[in-house]
Amino acid sequence: MKEPTIRKQRIRHDTVKLRLVVFGLMAAALVLCAVFSEYLTPFDPSLQDLSNAKAPPSATHLFGTDRYGRDMLSRVIAGSRVSILSTLLLVAVITGLGTAVGVCSGWFGGWFDTVLMRISDISLAFPGLVFALAVAGVSGGGLHNAVIALAAVSWPKYARIVRSQTLAQKEMTYLKAARLAGCGTGRIIFVHLLPNIIGPVLVTSMLDIGTMMMELAGLSFLGLGAKPPIPEWGSMMSDGRSLLTTVPWLTFAPGLAIFVSVMVFNLLGDTIRDYADPKHR
């Protein structure tokens, strides 16, 4: 390989590593902000002051106040706990559920595989958000029901990915050697199979964080997610939409938080995908 080509690959790889560090730190800062939000708010996010209602952004209230005089910056920070941590929990649930279903389908095959894949086909046949709206509406709404609704429609993608990876690895030499060495099915799956197929799954889950965050906020915006007075970005946008022309900061503040969070996690997911790609090494 020519020296200029090697140099270009090295520079590209170093750039990807730098992006990984930068976006990783930004994502970690968002998560830490969500975890310690109660200590970061400049005002009590639930404290009402009707004499200062709908105040525009100022040095005291950087994002203004809402219709009840509550500080919008404090509510946005407090809302990060519900919005970000609920999204991470949702992605963890669908990743774990989809991985378990995919491994079982690909490894055991037969009627077990047929039944699970037909169930996933039914889920994939409906538009995801529309199906989630139906499930959340039937279950009565609320944050927990919104998470369950999105989990019910989002796991098949992971199941398909893991099933294809399992089928590709199932007859590999190292797994046959593990069987000859006397390893049981559980040990083969958890010790030998999963470490070799988990890479694409983790990349997909990282790229899904932004999507799940927007869908969860969308359900809350439509009244099927978090309910007031719980500070959640989607419900906060819904609460301020009727005043968009007169008090725009009620909608822009949580909207900006969603935009920044989704952008950071999407950039981190793209960077992890590039870092895992052998062409960039």
Domain edges within the chain:
3-280
pLDDT digits (tens, 9 = 90+) for 227-254: 777 888 988 888 888 888 888 888 999 9
d(CA 113, CA 109): 5
Q: Are 72 and 240 in contact (CB under 8 A)?
A: no
Report the pLDDT averaged over residues 190-196: 85
- Chain mean pLDDT for the chain: 86
pTM assigned to the model: 0.87
Query: What integer pLDDT is reported at residue 227 of this predicted model?
Result: 78
Q: pLDDT tens digits, residue range 264-281? A: 999 998 888 887 765 555
Note the pLDDT tens digit of each residue in 79-112: 999 999 999 999 999 999 999 999 999 888 888 8
Whole-angstrom distance, CA of residue 107 vs CA of residue 170: 7
Q: At residue 196, does pLDDT exceed 60?
A: yes
CATH 1.10.3720.10 fits 3-280, yes or no: yes
**How sure is the predictor about 187, in pLDDT bands with cuts at 50, 70 and 90?**
confident
**For the chain, how far is it from start to end, CA to CA, in angstroms?**
14
Per-residue pLDDT for 140 more than 70? yes
20-37 confidence digits (pLDDT tens): 899 999 999 999 999 999
Which of 129, 113, 110, 109 is CA-nearest to residue 121? 113
Locate 47 and state its tokens. 């404290």
